[in-house]
Amino acid sequence: MLSKTQVGSATLTRPRGAASGAAHASLTEPALREDAAASAEPVKPPPRLLFLAASLLGTVFTFIILVATLDLIWDEGINHTWLDRVLAWGSILWAVAIIPAVGALVGWAAYRRPADTAEPVDRLVCFRIVSRGQNAEVLAQTARNIAATMQDFPLFPYRIEAVTDMAVALPDGVDAVVVPDDYETPNGALYKARALQYAQEASDLPDDAWVMFLDEESHITPSLVAGIARAVSEEEASGEHRIGQGCILYHRSLDRHRFLTLADMIRTGDDLGRFALQHRLGVTLFGLHGSFILARNSVVNEVGFDFGPEGSITEDAFFALVQMERGRRCRWVDGYVSEQAPETVRDFIKQRRRWFNGLWLVVRHAPVNIRWRAALTLSVSLWSISWLAVAYTAFNLYAGLLVNPVIFFLGALAFATYIMQYVLGLWINLRERDERRPWLYLPLVLLVPAWSLIESAGVLYGIIRPERGFHVINKPVQPEPHHPHLEASSPPPSSQ
């Protein structure tokens, strides 16, 4: 029997097997308030001109400094022997990096600032958090974050689902979906894909509801609530029902684990570059992230997540390509989701290894036309030789070989863009924290070579010893940074 909670004009129902308990505090209040149309973005994203100056002009400035520095290091180079000339062509490894760099630059150039307001919508949105269940407090913290944010910015009726492999104690009002031990999918989906498929089958969400897929440590922000409202309103009006994704931040461990938190700044910069470009084009050229996926329930039901073992390492990218093959398109969703960076170098390397091996499986096994796999194939291929480019750079610092001027130019521009992904990512993360911290930028830039080595180690590890399972990195509970706009929020009491 399904328990129901009436919210405004929307009826929220718990899925089969859901835990009973008191309804979430905010679910007992009117779902839509007239004043909810006010700004839901206390920390506003940068204006377009400021963003362009920071990203594009910043890249030019970095390029000039980089060329001057390299000129001092290498002088004019030497090519005395035929071996020197042959080895000098290894610099092509630098030039091929211009391909993803151009994607980042075009994505930054296409940036536009979101609207300052968002109107309420009457569609139900389900925040579906997927976790093994081994870290119940992190899961509970995420649920409380969603509840507090939605209490302050109730732009749509919502519910929270926690999908786990084991029963865990959760705050009241969170719908618990526990995957049975003996559950199997027809195609043999594993890990997170298996849990997602079970949740899709067990949940009684109506077809016109929207699902925001999150990881166990994914925290939402007011800007995301506004972005969801705008996206749902636009997609329901157009009838396109595109799949949405946006920018993920990684600042939550900045004070406790600064080294690897700064290392993940590149992911925010990449989101605002390559990933923003693909979503504005409407095609998932590089796949999807595993969290911050906004999709209509009817769209998810068309494909599901039962992709077999080959599609269970990076089920997000597999899902994206299958949807593109069916004619579905994607879009950008304004707003931020905040997540945690790995806390150990070991976890960092294993995380990159899983992504690398999983995406190769997608490229090889996704049942789609080659045109939908071409960009991802190129992207993963370039990623697979990135460690060679790092090794060649270290070699040429010693050898000082004379490099073709065109290759040198392209390589320097690519590296300048790579550095700016870190710088831009840090800038955006600090803006969300309402902080400046200018002293962080110099060590950030100086540490880029170290992070390049760690990133390369993940790829090399994946080549030598491919991922055989689904490594989940440890992300313990973190104290939240100061957010004035959530100070008045009263999270629901935990049932623990």
What is the average pLDDT across 29-46? Answer: 48
Which pLDDT band holds residue 116 (cuts at 50, 70, 90)? Answer: confident
pLDDT at 486 over 70: no
What are the extents of the domains in the chain? 48-111+379-464, 116-369
In sequence order, the β-bridge partners of residue 332 are: 245
User: Residue 182: is its pLDDT beyond 80?
Assistant: yes
The residue written with tokens 């926690």 in the block is 162
| Neighbouring-strand partners of residue 129 | 162, 214
Each residue of 268-327: pLDDT tens digit?
999 999 999 999 999 999 999 999 999 999 999 999 999 999 999 999 999 999 999 999
Residue 492 DSSP one-character state: P
Cβ-proximal residues to 427 (8 Å cutoff; 6+ apart), any chain: 54
- CA torsion 18-21-23-25 (nearest 10°) is -130
Q: What is the pLDDT of residue 219?
A: 97
- pLDDT above 80 for 421: yes
Task: Decide which of 6 and 466 is more confident.
Answer: 466
Task: Give the pLDDT score at 235.
Answer: 98
Mean pLDDT of 411-436: 96
pLDDT at site 277? 97
Say which CATH topology domain 116-369 has.
Spore Coat Polysaccharide Biosynthesis Protein SpsA; Chain A (3.90.550)
- Give the Cα separation of 50 and 272 in Å (integer): 14
Residue range 369-397, pLDDT digits in tens = 999 999 999 999 999 999 999 998 888 87
Would you say residue 208 has pLDDT above 80?
yes
Write down the pLDDT at residue 393: 86
> What is the per-residue pLDDT for 293?
98
Residue at token pair 């008191």: 22
Give the chain's mean pLDDT.
86
Q: What stretches of 270-372 adopt beta strand conformation (E)?
A: 293-296, 330-338
Percentage, residues of the chain above pLDDT 70: 85
Percent of residues in the chain assigned helix, strand, coil, to nearest 5: 50, 10, 35
For the stretch 449-470, pLDDT in tens is 999 999 999 999 999 999 877 6
Q: Is the pLDDT of residue 76 over 90?
A: no
d(CA 485, CA 42): 7
* Whole-number Å distance between alpha carbons of 344 and 449: 18
Q: What is the mean pLDDT of residues 37-65?
A: 82
CB-CB contact of 128 with 243 (8 Å): no
Residue 468's identity, in one-letter code, is R
Report pLDDT for 81. Answer: 80
Position 483 scores a pLDDT of 45
Whole-Å CA distances, 288 to 58, 276, 352? 27, 11, 15
Task: Please choose, from the candidates 175, 121, 216, the residue with its C-alpha nearest in 3D space to the C-alpha of residue 12.
Answer: 175
User: pTM of this prediction?
Assistant: 0.88
- Give, to the nearest 10 degrees, the angle between helix 370-384 and helix 386-399: 30
Spatial strand order of the sheet with 158-164 comes to: 175-178, 158-164, 125-130, 210-215, 293-296, 243-249, 330-338, 219-220
The Cα–Cα gap between 30 and 7 comes to 6
Structure tokens given for 444? 């950030």
